[in-house]
Amino acid sequence: IIQSLASLFVADPKAFPAFGQLVPEVFATHLRLSTEPRKRLNDLLLQSAFDPNMAALIRDTDDLVGSTFFWNSDVMPLCTKLVINSDYACLIQATLTTKSGE
């Protein structure tokens, strides 16, 4: 049930807000780090439209995914490749280039 709610929320956050009601408790019980259900959730998030730079935040810690704000229908889309690449192109360029040009 938890995976289904998460899948529905990721597909259409505004239409299926139920998963957000389970956070953060669900990450302390059913979706603990390094468990198979958590790996499935990680894969779901990273295989969908999420920016790959967020992989460590999703896979290695509960700091982001365990926060209720992340599962808000207005916040989650901000973490997608589409929004990041279109709305934050200058910021991405600035953060990926050092003073030496690397």
Instruction: Give me the residue spans of the domains in the chain.
Output: 2-96
User: For residue 60, what pLDDT is reported?
Assistant: 92
Give pLDDT, residue 51. Answer: 81
End-to-end distance of the chain based on CA atoms, in angstroms?
46
Peptide bond just before 17 cis, omega within 30 deg: no
Computed over every residue of the chain, the mean pLDDT equals: 84
And the tokens for 81? 């490749």
Residue 92: Cβ-neighbour burial (10 angstroms; 0-12, 13-18, 19+): middle
Helix axes 2-11, 36-47, angle to 10 degrees: 10
Share of the chain above pLDDT 70, in %: 89
